[in-house]
Amino acid sequence: MKDDNKKTRSSQLFEFAKDSYLDRTSRPIYALMYLLGFIVLYEIGTLLISTDVLSNSLGNTQVRVVSFAWIQNLLTKYLNFPARMTWIATPLVVVIILLALQITSKTQWKVTTSDFLPMTIESILLAVPLIMLSLTINSSASEQAATMSAGAAADGLAVQLVSGIGAGIYEELVFRLILISLLMLVFQDFLGVTRRNSILLSVVISAVLFSAHHHIFFINGSFTRGEAFVFSVFVFRIMAGIYFAAIFAVRGFAIAVGTHAFYDILAALLNFLFFAPTEM
């Protein structure tokens, strides 16, 4: 029989010693408080870089990531939310989801802000293996640049940094927190698939869709082409999706977002310094 005084469930797959660093930082309330800074930086960044970022036209800005635009579309087209307010309503979706998860988790609400620095260091360290994998799996400079574009067009380092932060937040929200949870519900609860196979199927499907959405996505009622398809880049992003899912399962949403965001930030810096084309 499990001793609840010693351990508590703080993530999807693993248990950590009660109130340890690993236990505390995997709680939804930690994700909420830690990611507020990322959300604010993303919103301020989009306002400073572009004057039309509050519009719903994805083609008018490369700063808003696709998953952000999906949430905007959901709010305006299906929930009749005023378009002018989506700039604040969209990040509020993240806040509401994490608050709901915190309430249902029945874990402590106390947040120790001194944990934020170790969380940042942990996220950066977890991003490094992805950087190394990208450098290994992609054979040409053009493939490196495509992989290290942080989801943005070649519009400058600032755009790529801001886009990377947004991708970390909203792609993890859509493809890990929401999609994996829904797939687990379908496979395990409705189709009766074993938990182990449900996890495997959910992670792989979410990773493939995560990679595919960089090349083609559904927005504003129609399919839109994104980046040109490069097989090695597509495979790398599938592997990255599986990696982010593993981090999400073991360490929770905050570290998954942090790892994704810092990967995109480091990748954008490397792309700018080493792989960006030289102007003639």
pLDDT in tens, 63-88: 458 888 888 888 888 788 887 777 78
Please give the pLDDT value at position 279. Answer: 40
Tally the domains of the chain: 1
As given in the structure block, the two tokens for residue 143 are 């493939």
Question: What pLDDT is stored for residue 137 in this prediction?
Answer: 82
Question: Is residue 247 pLDDT above 50, yes or no?
Answer: yes
State the average pLDDT over residues 167-185. Answer: 95
CA distance 176 to 186: 15
Structural domain contains residue 55: yes
Q: What is the mean pLDDT of the chain?
A: 83
Residue 254 within a domain:
yes
Phi and psi dihedrals of 68, rounded to 5?
A: -65, -45
143 found inside a domain: yes
CA 264 to centroid of chain Cα atoms? 10
pLDDT exceeds cutoff 50 at 153: no
**Vertex 254: Cα angle to 208 and 104 (nearest 5):** 95
pLDDT digits (tens, 9 = 90+) for 33-61: 999 999 999 989 888 875 444 333 344 44
Residue 40 lies in a domain: yes
Q: pLDDT-derived band of residue 277, with 50, 70 and 90 as boundaries?
A: very low
Confidence of residue 156 (pLDDT cuts 50, 70, 90): confident
Whether residue 10 lies inside any domain: the answer is no
**pLDDT at position 97:** 96
Residue range(s) defining the domain that contains residue 44? 18-275
Whole-number pLDDT of residue 258? 98
Residue 8 scores a pLDDT above 60: no
* Percent of the chain residues past pLDDT 70, beyond the cut: 81
Quick: pLDDT tens for 229-241: 888 889 999 999 9
Residue type, 32: L
Percent above pLDDT 90 for the chain: 53
Backbone φ/ψ region at 263: left (φ over 0), alpha (ψ -120 to 50), beta: alpha
Residue 24 lies in a domain: yes
| Residue 265 falls inside a structural domain | yes
pLDDT, greater one: 252 or 279: 252
* DSSP symbols for the chain: ---TTTEEE-SSS-EEETTSHHHHHTSHHHHHHHHHHHHHHHHHHHHHH-S-TTSS-GGG-SSS-HHHHHHHHIIIIIS---GGGHHHHHHHHHHHHHHHHHHHHT------GGGHHHHHHHHHHHHHHHHHHHHHH--SHHHHHHHTSTT--SS-HHHHHHHHHHHHHHHIIIIIIIHHHHHHIIIIIIS---HHHHHHHHHHHHHHHHHHTTTEEEETTEEEE-SPP-HHHHHHHHHHHHHHHHHHHHH-HHHHHHHHHHHHHHHHHHIIIIISPPP-
Query: The pTM is what?
Result: 0.86
Distance CA 236, CA 134 (A): 7
Residue type, 187: F
Q: Is residue 108 part of a domain?
A: yes
Residues 96-151 pLDDT 10s = 999 999 999 999 999 999 999 999 999 999 999 999 998 888 655 455 555 555 44
